[in-house]
Amino acid sequence: MPFGKYKDTLICNLPEAYLIWFHQQGFPKSKLGMLLGTMYEIKLNGLEYLLQPLRNKTAR
């Protein structure tokens, strides 16, 4: 995230409650908003396991 309480936090590591709040308030009309909306859908549908290979690559 580029701003706020979760500045410098990877979008995939944002708390679900934060994404739910954005969903209720409306995501920004930008690339960031699209990424937040996508992460919301991933978490909502229990698809976080799909991100594990990407997390493993960045942890090296």
d(Cα 37, Cα 55) in Å, to the nearest integer?
19
Is position 42 within any domain? yes
Q: Do 51 and 42 form a contact (C-beta atoms < 8 A)?
A: yes
30: pLDDT confidence band, cut at 50, 70 and 90? very high
Residue 59: its pLDDT value, please? 63
Whether 3 is covered by a domain: the verdict is: no
Domain that holds residue 38: 11-59
Angstrom distance (rounded) from CA 13 to CA 39: 9
Per-residue pLDDT at 56: 79
Structural domain contains residue 6:
no
Number of structural domains found in the chain: 1
pLDDT of amino acid 40: 98
CA angle 60, 19, 15 (to 5 degrees): 50
| Structural domain includes residue 21 | yes
Residue that the structure tokens 């990424």 belong to: 35
4 band by pLDDT with thresholds 50, 70 and 90: confident
